[in-house]
Amino acid sequence: MSGPVTIRDVARAADVSPATVSRTFVRPEKVDAVTRERVLSAAARLDYRPNRAAQSLITGLTGNIGIVVPDLTNPFFPSVVRGIQSRAEELGYPVLLVDTGEDAARESELVTRLGRQVDGLVLCAARMSDEDLLSHRQQRPLVLINREVPGVPAVTFDNAAGIAQEVMHLKALGHVRIGYVAGPGTSYSSRVRQGAVTTHLAAAALTEVAVGSFAPSFDGGRSAAEKVLLANVTAVMVYNDVMALGLINQLAQYGVSVPNDLTVVGYDDIEFAAMANPALTTVRVPREEAGALAMSYLNALMTATGPAPEPPAQLKTEFIFRGTSVRVPLTGALAE
């Protein structure tokens, strides 16, 4: 067949009207299953690609999905995006991606602008207010990752369990006075993890020393080093891995050896955590799985003709013991 395949070519091959072919791609729920399968089979044989621009004029839909992240330079987010994009490709959606630069006001503005070009949105670790998120939720289907707002569907992680595992690990190693390097106060997940640290350290009868809040970046971790040293702790928990690696890097500049002089544990298990020397003790968060699950749920929201689908479950975390955590040197009778 010469030239591009048209909707009329598919109609002839499937022995249906062009209108039925159009409905099959635009409103498949309006076409009976047998006819729909015949049209899709004919389209596949002819390698027909629907004209999304024409569909958009008919339905008001774009066929696109939007992804919003706060910082693509943070190794946490590319894995999440990969999960979203992989699932979106399976479902036939092109994706548009924006980076908000950790700016809550800009994030809300970009979501408004992007919303005009997409049929649904996945927001990763959204920084904007609950009120703004609820407002955007009224405009179009929207799913959050690593953020909870009542009334907005979300894929989240069991951060409390991950923090509890880290605390038990540090207690087993003999640490009693433990520092915590927090992320920014605008970060929902930082607040959640901070709360879990406080709860589980207290439950384990360990002393928490708040080091402060820092940017969730390598440089943010570096800037925490002096305050960590002044905290007089034997171990420090850090909001995320990239900060933990920055902290270790700066401590080395001060002649502090990790883990011989200080135990450091991170969170997220980014790819660089295992590559570091020593490799970083951390908590693994299933980032790619979260992205794929969020995309599947968004698709269910956009295509549902009945009640809304069940929201996705909270994803489990996994403690990863590596080389940056060691036992506190034994003293007294235990050392004899």
- Please indicate whether residue 325 or residue 11 has the higher confidence score (pLDDT): 325
In a domain, 138, yes or no: yes
Q: Assess whether 294 and 269 both reside in one domain.
A: no
Tokens of 88: 């979106």
For the stretch 115-166, pLDDT in tens is 888 888 999 988 888 899 999 888 889 999 999 999 889 999 999 999 999 9
Instruction: Using the predicted structure, report yes or no on whether residue 6 has a pLDDT greater than 90.
Output: no
> Domains in the chain: how many in total?
2
Listed in sequence order, the residues at least 6 apart from 177 whose beta carbon sits closer than 8 Å to its beta carbon are 206, 207, 209, 232, 233, 234
pLDDT for 168-212, tens place per residue?
Answer: 999 999 999 999 999 998 888 899 999 999 999 999 999 999 999
Residues 77 and 220 in one domain: no
Report yes or no on 27 lying in a domain: no
Angle in degrees, CA 258, 273, 175, rounded to 5: 40
The answer to whether residues 190 and 273 belong to one domain is yes
Query: Do 259 and 310 belong together in one domain?
Result: no
The verdict on 196 and 248 lying in the same domain is yes
Task: Looking at the structure, tell me whether residues 181 and 269 fall in a common domain.
Answer: yes
Q: What percent of the chain is predicted at pLDDT more than 90? A: 56
Does the predicted TM-score (pTM) go above 0.75?
Answer: yes
74 and 183 together in one domain: no
> Do 165 and 297 sit in the same domain of this protein?
no
The pLDDT of residue 57 is 45
CATH of the domain at 297: 3.40.50.2300
Let me know: does 250 contact 221? Beta carbons within 8 Å. Answer: yes
- What pLDDT digit, counting tens, does each position of 74-90 carry? 999 999 999 999 999 88
Whether 196 and 251 map to the same domain: the answer is yes
- Residue 75 has phi, psi (to 5 degrees) of -60, -10
Q: Do 134 and 185 share a domain, yes or no?
A: no
Higher pLDDT, 23 or 143: 143
Residue 8's pLDDT is 81
Domain enclosing residue 80, as ranges: 65-156+287-314
pLDDT tens, residue by residue, 237-296: 999 999 999 999 999 999 999 999 999 999 999 999 999 999 999 999 999 999 999 999
Return the pLDDT at 68: 93
Q: Check: CB of residue 230 under 8 Å from CB of residue 210.
A: no
